[in-house]
Each structure stands twice: as C-alpha cells, then as structure tokens.
Amino acid sequence: MYEFLLSTGIVALAEMGDKTQLLALLLAARFKKPAPILIAILLATIVNHGVSAALGQWVTNVLSPEILVWILAVGFIAMAAWMLVPDELDDESGNIQKWQKYGVFGATFVLFFLAEIGDKTQIATVALAARFDSLWWVMAGTTLGMMLANAPAVFIGDKLSNRLPIALIHKIGAAIFLVIGVATLLQFYLF
C-alpha cells in the first residue's frame, strides 16, 4: 500500500504544470467534452504506465542490486532537478487538428500517450517500479496520480491553473524526489 500511496503522490505533484496537464487543458478547451477526454487520458495512462512499470520490473532482473541502486538514486535526484524546470506545451494546436479526425477520444488518446513518452511521470513510473519491485501498485498509483492532476484540468480548464502555486508544487515534488534518491542510497548501504 505504501508503494501505491507514494506513487500516487509523487506523480500527482510531478504532473502539476506538466506538458500533459497543459495538453489536458488544451483538449478540454478545444472539444468541451470531458467524459471522452478523461476516459482517453485514463486508458492512455494505463497503457503507458503499464509498459513503464514492466520496464522498471525488468530492469531489476537484469542489473545487479548495486548498479540498480546507483541508477535509481541518481535518477531520483535528476528527477528532483528536472522538477524545477517548467514545462512548456509546444504548438499542440496543430497536432490536435491533425488527430481531430479520429474524434475526441481518439485524438486525446493518441496525443496524451505520445506526450507522456519520455515525460517526468513516465520516467518516475519506471524508477518507482524498479525501486519498490511492485508493478501493479506502482502502476495503479501513478495512474491515479495522473488522474488526480488531470481531471480537474479537464473540468475546470485554465481558470484555476493560473491560481495554483505551480512553482511551489514543483519545489515540493523536487524535494520528495531528492529525499527518495538519498534514501535509496542510505537504505542500500546502511541496512
């Protein structure tokens, strides 16, 4: 359960102000149909994070524990630094138009899935699954974290996003990643 709760919290914080959250805002503003957008975001996240968690699990079988600990620790610390860099949504309006022919659900699924590739939350999912050796709890937690961050974005749109302290949220997320990175090293070498 710890893995689930931590994964949920980390991804929800990491997603605040992230490009995929900005994409959710843009899709909601364009289509004004929250139900198919949310379902598509959920399914795209399940597929993306399922593959990511499986990759995290696979890595634990391929690498020695000492190498894995260092990769995870450095990865979490790098994620802390990455959290401090604000995301920008490149011109997604053109991409939305390109995929719009597949309808609200199709466009949202494809765009969200593609935007999540190489994203902070995807990399966090890989690292968390490797760290906790728990594919299902991590995938469920990271998916819930994505939905907790993106559902309000879809329903409320950009009205609320300007009022959230995104810089503070990113700093809190960075601190959590830093603590997990250092704790990973300490736990391996002290216990």
- 1: its two tokens: 């359960």
pLDDT (average), residues 8-26? 81
Give the C-alpha separation, 133 to 23, whole Å.
31
Higher-scoring residue by pLDDT: 114, 164: 114
pLDDT (average), residues 128-156? 89
Run of H or E residues at 102: none
Residue 169, pLDDT above cutoff 70: no
3-state secondary structure of 162: coil
Q: Between the ranges 73-87, 95-109, 167-181, where is the mean pLDDT highest? A: 95-109
Residue 75, pLDDT above cutoff 90: no
pLDDT (average), residues 119-133? 85
Give the C-alpha separation, 30 to 26, whole Å.
6
Q: What is the pLDDT, as a whole number, of residue 146?
A: 92
Note whether 59 and 128 are within 8 A (CB). Answer: no
Number of separate domains in the chain:
1
Residue 90, pLDDT above cutoff 60: no
Q: What is the pLDDT, as a whole number, of residue 40?
A: 95
Note whether 74 and 181 are within 8 A (CB). Answer: yes
- Write out the residue range of the structural domain in which residue 124 sits: 2-190
Residue 170, pLDDT above cutoff 70: no
Please give the single-letter amino acid code of residue 189. Y
Give the C-alpha separation, 173 to 32, whole Å.
30
